[in-house]
Amino acid sequence: MTFEAVLEELRPLAKGAKHAHTGLWVSQQLRQRIADGQLPPGTKLSEEALGEALGVSRNTLREAFTSLNAEHIITRIPNRGVFVAQPSAADVQEIYRVRRFLEPAAIMWHEPAAVDDLEAIVATARVAASQGDIPGMAGANQSFHRALVARARSERLDALMAQVLAEMRLVFHAMGANPEFHEPYVEDNAELIRLVSAGENAAAAAFMRTYLDRAEAQLLRAMAG
């Protein structure tokens, strides 16, 4: 999706949303579109165009940019403007450091619950894998990890995970069209469902830590190569 297409999508939302004129709402909308892959790394975020589409002042927009910059999702380049960030190897290491604390801990707090939502996501990922649909696999993987953390029923964890996943979407671009990064994790997600549904939270948390270690190492190799 182009930046112009994202603007067209945002215009009616801004008109119909109660909090559309706050920096928080603007940052949430941009973060979600980055997490969904609609705004890839390097996309220039025109202040004038965004302000016009969202009906917000320059100060409100800059408030949102300040928040997203602190999350390493966007970057300001002097005399050039604001751009969607391109994560470095050091950023990847920091992201996975956070994920190793966040996701296994969220799993440990899970209460017994149906796993239909998780199973539906894995089914979608399997279809994408069978069709060689890399964006489909990546999107399903993002949804799976978001849903897995959401089962801990913590708004603060959900908010932190939204930040992590937005940055992860930018990292995925480093993998290009390599299905070997996404495809193995489809069945790893299925194994996590099996463990969680059996109430084996400690085993699921340990599996998640190994999973994240492997994913981080694979990403760093790709970025170095």
Same domain (yes/no): 24, 127: no
Same domain (yes/no): 69, 55: yes
Which CATH number fits the domain that encloses residue 47?
A: 1.10.10.10
Same domain (yes/no): 70, 103: no
Same domain (yes/no): 154, 134: yes
75, burial (CB in 10 Å: exposed 0-12, middle 13-18, buried 19+): middle
pTM, two decimal places: 0.80
- The answer for residues whose C-beta is within 8 angstroms of residue 122's C-beta and 6 or more apart is 140, 144, 186, 189, 190, 193
Same domain (yes/no): 18, 120: no
Same domain (yes/no): 67, 130: no
Domain C-terminal end among 32, 59, 84: 84
Among 1-15, 122-136, 180-194, whose mean pLDDT is lowest?
Answer: 1-15
Same domain (yes/no): 108, 218: yes
Same domain (yes/no): 127, 207: yes
Domain C-terminal end among 84, 104, 131: 84
Same domain (yes/no): 50, 65: yes
**Could you count the other beta carbons within 10 Å of the beta carbon of residue 5?**
10
Q: State the total domains in the chain.
A: 2
Which CATH number fits the domain that encloses residue 118?
A: 1.20.120.530
Same domain (yes/no): 125, 40: no
**What are the tens digits of pLDDT across the range 10-57?**
888 877 666 567 888 899 889 888 888 888 889 999 999 998 888 888
Same domain (yes/no): 114, 202: yes
DSSP character at residue 44: B
- Asked if residues 8 and 27 have their Cβ atoms less than 8 Å apart, the reply is no
What six digits make up the tokens of 214? 């492997």
Domain C-terminal end among 49, 84, 119: 84
pLDDT at 170 over 70: yes
The boundaries of the domain holding residue 184 are 89-224
Nearest-angstrom CA–CA distance, 130 and 186: 11
- pLDDT score, position 68: 92
H helices present in 109-178, as ranges: 116-130, 134-150, 155-172
Same domain (yes/no): 68, 124: no
**What are the tens digits of pLDDT across the range 56-102?**
889 999 999 999 999 889 999 988 999 999 889 999 999 999 999 99
Kind of pairing between the strands at 74-77 and 81-84: antiparallel
- pLDDT score, position 16: 67
Nearest-angstrom CA–CA distance, 131 and 121: 16
